[in-house]
């Protein structure tokens, strides 16, 4: 009504990619300025613009600050009506304001907690006083002839590295490891030697993988169901992000419990919902800033019929209802949780 175009960029436009780049460039420029020195940005994108986005980020954020292109499995069922491939993933580009590789004060990733499945891989069959352990192969792909020495097991069996491989330590180091009870020859003492790795000596958590499967961080249908659960069965949005996906991002990126999380394409405000959950989980004081153009809703849409005029109208109500639900489900933990927010219009 003010003559400013707020509609989605149409792929029928002759300047489709140019329009998108012109829209993204100033936002990314501002985002970089707003990031603190050890800050990080995650950008979700599909195949259509990922190549252009990568070039844009390299220019604005610096190619040396690229961290990863995370693959998120956003769907779990096959689309058999696809023209070519059934697309089941999105990309999440991750860039640090300052890479740890270039600046020791740069962004440092948080480790993920070990799951029960990870812990199940550890045991203590020889009652080692250092606690539970797992074992890894003692051979390597490359090395010198000196690393092809003979090892005699406690049962008297003679072992050499597998064909084309080498022992990963020299003979003197191997003897040290045996003396320190760090070599496992199997319960009967006749197995190929393996190196013991104790849980008490490894990192307290796990490095995140670059592929995030839907069973770990959720999928689009889960995101839609979460919105439905807040709005009496009405989804309103086609493919909102699941809260678990944003929880994962906050978990690995937010080193301080009073960080500010900014989402300048906030849509259904999943990020705000996730900040509430993250604070509930670790007694944090994180704050969020959600930014969204006031895109008007289709006159025939379910949301419009229910009295919502714009996307931010639904998002604001989603934040209110998410906070209310957390208080109802976790009355004790949520009693001191800050669930308030302010709304500004530019």
Q: What is the mean pLDDT of residues 306-313?
A: 96
pLDDT at 189: 93
Kindly report the backbone phi and psi dihedral angles of residue 79, in degrees, each rounded to the nearest multiple of 5, phi listed first.
Answer: -95, 95
pLDDT at 54: 96
pLDDT exceeds cutoff 90 at 10: no
pLDDT exceeds cutoff 80 at 8: no
pLDDT at 102: 85
pLDDT exceeds cutoff 70 at 129: yes
Please, are residues 192 and 174 in contact by the beta-carbon 8 Å criterion?
A: no
The tens digit of pLDDT for each residue in 20-55 reads 899 999 999 999 999 999 999 999 999 999 999 999
pLDDT at 119: 83
pLDDT exceeds cutoff 80 at 193: yes
pLDDT band, very low/low/confident/very high, at 256 (cuts 50, 70, 90): confident
Measured distance CA(97)–CA(106) in Å, rounded: 7
pLDDT exceeds cutoff 80 at 12: no
Calculated CA dihedral for residues 115, 118, 121, 124, nearest 10 degrees: -60
Lowest mean pLDDT among 5-14, 78-87, 185-194, 221-230: 5-14
Strand 260-263 relative to strand 287-290: parallel, antiparallel, unpaired?
parallel
Cα–Cα distances in angstroms (integers) from residue 310 to residues 79, 272, 306, 340, in the given order:
30, 18, 12, 21
pLDDT at 182: 96
How many Cα atoms occupy the beta-carbon half-sphere of 239 within 13 Å?
11
pLDDT exceeds cutoff 90 at 289: yes
pLDDT exceeds cutoff 80 at 13: no
Please, are residues 207 and 109 in contact by the beta-carbon 8 Å criterion?
A: yes
pLDDT exceeds cutoff 70 at 339: yes
pLDDT band, very low/low/confident/very high, at 15 (cuts 50, 70, 90): confident
- Provide the token pair at 54: 């990568």
Please, are residues 314 and 236 in contact by the beta-carbon 8 Å criterion?
A: yes
Tell me the β-bridge partners of 90: 72
165: exposed, middle or buried (Cβ count in 10 Å: 0-12, 13-18, 19+): middle
Q: What is the mean pLDDT of residues 158-173?
A: 94
How many Cα atoms occupy the beta-carbon half-sphere of 134 within 13 Å?
9
Closest CA to 29 of 59, 6, 67: 59
pLDDT at 203: 78
């Amino acid at each position: 009504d003010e003559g400013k175009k707020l509609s989605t960029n149409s792929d029928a436009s002759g300047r489709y990619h140019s329009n998108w780049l012109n829209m993204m460039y100033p936002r990314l420029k501002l985002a970089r300025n707003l990031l603190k020195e050890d800050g990080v940005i995650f950008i979700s994108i599909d195949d259509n613009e990922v190549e252009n986005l990568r070039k844009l980020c390299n220019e604005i954020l610096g190619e040396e600050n690229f961290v990863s292109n995370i693959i998120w499995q956003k769907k779990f069922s096959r689309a058999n009506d696809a023209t070519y491939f059934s697309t089941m993933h999105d990309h999440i580009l991750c860039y640090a304001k300052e890479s740890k590789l270039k600046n020791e004060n740069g962004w440092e990733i948080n480790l993920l907690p070990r799951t029960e499945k990870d812990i199940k891989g550890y045991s203590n069959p020889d009652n080692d006083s250092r606690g539970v352990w797992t074992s890894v192969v003692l051979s390597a792909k490359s090395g010198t002839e000196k690393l092809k020495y003979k090892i005699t097991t406690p049962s008297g069996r003679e072992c050499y590295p597998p064909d084309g491989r080498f022992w990963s330590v020299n003979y003197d180091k191997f003897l040290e490891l045996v003396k320190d009870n760090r070599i496992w020859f199997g319960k009967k003492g006749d197995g190929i030697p393996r190196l013991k790795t104790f849980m008490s000596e490894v990192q307290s958590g796990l490095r995140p993988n670059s592929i995030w499967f839907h069973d770990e961080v959720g999928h689009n249908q889960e995101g839609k169901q979460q919105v439905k659960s807040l709005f009496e069965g009405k989804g309103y949005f086609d493919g909102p992000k699941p809260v678990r996906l944003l929880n994962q991002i906050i978990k690995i990126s937010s080193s301080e419990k009073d960080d500010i999380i900014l989402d300048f394409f906030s849509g259904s405000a999943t990020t705000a919902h996730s900040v509430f959950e993250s604070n509930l989980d670790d007694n944090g004081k994180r704050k969020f800033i959600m930014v969204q153009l006031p895109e008007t809703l289709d006159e025939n849409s379910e949301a419009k019929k229910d009295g919502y005029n714009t996307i931010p109208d639904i998002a604001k109500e989603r934040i209110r209802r998410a906070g209310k639900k957390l208080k109802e489900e976790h009355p004790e933990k949520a009693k001191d949780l800050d669930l308030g927010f302010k709304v500004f219009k530019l």
